[in-house]
Amino acid sequence: MIDGRLACRLNPNRIATPAFVVDLGLLEDNCRILDQVRQRTGCKILLALKCFAMYATFPLLRQYLDGICASSPYEARLGREEFQREVHAFAAAFSESDIRALAKTCDHLVFNSFAQFERFGPLAKQVAEQAGNILHFGLRINPEHSEGTVPMYDPCSPGSRLGIRREHFLSDRIGTVKGLHWHNLCEQDADCLQRTVAAVENAFGDVLPRMDYVNFGGGHHITRADYDRELLVDIINTFQQRWQVQVYLEPGEAVALNTGYLVATVLDIIQADMPIAIMDASVPAHMPDVLEMPYRPHIIGSSLPGEQPYTCRIGGLSCLAGDVAGEYSFPRPLEVGQQLVFTDMAIYTMVKTNTFNGVKLPDIVTWDPDSEQCKVVKTFGYTDFKQRL
């Protein structure tokens, strides 16, 4: 139990707040699950830095994963310098300066259109050769098959700018392209992938035999307890055998799912239509996905409103009226100085934090369950706020 493990073995009062805390034991548990998929299929698994880029954990992660996928020159450089394994990069469009940087740091560069590939492919190859780097090219396709329920997170929704549709795919101009990439899942199970693979095979079956690798993208919730890993293994093995290609997966959430926490302190409790606890963290600044998705994050020891005797609303300290995490119930009234521990706060949090209102960025902390030690990896101050402006 995640709640029990943290509540019993880590005293949050030992942590200066606000702080992100990543449990290295839980992180390694996830990695072992992913490694089992690798071992049973021969597929390669990349860490999507857009979701989790805490490079203090890279020495652990690279024991189990094959590399990283990046969405920008900065992410690619971080992957090259700190992860030190394969580096793949994709963006909806690249500038010339992007290409010059990525050609030196990437192993695989994936283009979103034939126009970009034909414009920048020769330059990327030239820069890579001058740097002594071996660079492979890929193209992102759009399977035109949606499995997502929220259009904002569905790369295959109508009008999407991501991936080349079959009607626009120029089979006679793939040239030095070695791989195809797609991404259409979000926190989903293997049955969604199975239907997507069928759609890809139906639309791009004439192209697949010409590829060396195919990247199934991310959104696979492989480390979730009820995920159908047997089906995933079967899908990968069948696809690799049928098309004689190397399969890649690039999960972000599955790597760090349920491994991190945001610890905050109650600063004040005010009265409105119900008690409102104001904490020293901010939803838009520290966990913006709560507003963007939107969703209600879990707090250890809490329940849904009305399920326990004391119900209150949890809000942040910024001036945004909507700086609210949600409504929760607890066994007893909250008190000023009490600490709140939000769960599943490793993913899409540290990579999205901002300094809205000049709110302090949370410390970044690791928790080692074997030694029962917390280590402060990074703290932030006024200079970090000032230098972003």
How far apart CA 88 and CA 80 sit, in angstroms, is 10
Q: Is residue 98 part of a domain?
A: yes
Cis peptide upstream of residue 294 (ω within 30 degrees of 0): yes
Asked which of 210, 239, 255 is the last residue of a domain, the reply is 255
Task: Say if residue 48 is in the same domain as residue 96.
Answer: yes
Q: What is the pTM of this model?
A: 0.95
Instruction: State how far the Cα of 9 lies from the Cα of 87, in Å rounded to an integer.
Output: 36
Average pLDDT over residues 283-306: 96
Cα(336)–Cα(232) distance, integer angstroms? 47
Average of per-residue pLDDT values in the chain: 95
How many domains would you assign to the chain? 2
The residue written with tokens 């860490």 in the block is 47
Q: Which of 186, 220, 255 is the last residue of a domain?
A: 255
- Omega before 18 cis (within 30°)? yes
- Beta-carbon neighbour count of residue 389 at 10 Å? 6
Helix or strand holding residue 367 (H, E): strand 363-368
Please tell me the predicted confidence (pLDDT) of residue 343.
97
- The reply to whether 117 and 185 lie within a common domain is yes
Residues 111 and 36 in one domain: yes
Across 7-11, 104-108, 111-115, least confident range: 7-11
Buried b (16+ CB within 10 A) or exposed e, 70-81: bebbebbbbbbe
Domain end (from 255, 285, 314) = 255
Residue 355 within any structural domain of the chain: no
Same domain (yes/no): 11, 82: no
Domain identity same for 318 and 374:
yes
Is 149 domain-assigned?
Answer: yes
Q: What is the pLDDT of residue 1?
A: 34
At residue 150, does pLDDT exceed 90?
Answer: no
Same domain, 232 and 318: no
Q: Is the pLDDT of residue 4 over 70?
A: no
Q: Over range 40-54, report the average pLDDT.
A: 98
Please report whether residue 354 resides in a domain. no
Contacts of 334 (CB under 8 A, 6+ apart): 266, 269, 275, 277, 310, 312, 340
Model pLDDT for residues 156-206, shown as the tens digit of each residue = 999 999 999 999 999 999 999 999 999 999 999 999 999 999 999 999 999
Structural domain boundaries enclosing 332:
2-18+260-345+360-386
Q: What is the CATH number of the domain that holds 87?
A: 3.20.20.10
Residue 8 has pLDDT above 50, yes or no: no
Longest dimension (CA), the chain: 68
Residue with tokens 């326990």: 308
Same domain, 290 and 220: no
Q: Are residues 184 and 286 in the same domain?
A: no
